[in-house]
Amino acid sequence: QKEVEQNSGPLSVPEGAIASLNCTYSDRGSQSFFWYRQYSGKSPELIMSIYSNGDKEDGRFTAQLNKASQYVSLLIRDSQPSDSATYLCAVNINYGGSQGNLIFGKGTKLSVKP
């Protein structure tokens, strides 16, 4: 059974602080890793993608991947109240050249307090 685990939170941080969101996955065959943001009642919105070990930065967001530890994280710098949402970690496993489907974690609810 392929699993993606996230702390459900809520994670509460003050405005301007760094929010750190974590995710672990069970299948070592996982090749692609994504962070989606989901506001209440809305659809998942792609924030970041990462494919190789290390850090990837995009604006206030940094994704970190450690395949040996089967761990992926998302850092949000200078957190804003508008960042308050549920953050979904998703993992894509490609077999035999097919595109593969996404396996999602339950999400971490982030609350940024003004």
Partner 1 sequence: EPEVTQTPSHQVTQMGQEVILRCVPISNHLYFYWYRQILGQKVEFLVSFYNNEISEKSEIFDDQFSVERPDGSNFTLKIRSTKLEDSAMYFCASSSGYSNQPQHFGDGTRLSIL
What are the residues binding partner 1 (CB under 8 A)? 31-32, 34, 36, 42-46, 49, 51, 88, 90, 92, 94, 97-107
Residue the block writes with tokens 């992926």: 72
Closer residue to partner 1, CB minimum distance, 12 or 94: 94
How distant, in Å, are the alpha carbons of 23, 113, 114 from that of 89? 6, 23, 25
Q: Smallest gap, in angstroms, from Cβ of residue 30 to partner 1?
A: 11
Q: Which is nearer to partner 1, 34 or 79 (CB)?
A: 34
| Rounded least distance, CB 78 to partner 1, Å | 24
Q: CB of 55: closest distance to partner 1 in angstroms? A: 18
Tokens for 50, please give them. Answer: 């990462």
- Burial label for 19, CB within 10 Å (0-12, 13-18, 19+), is buried
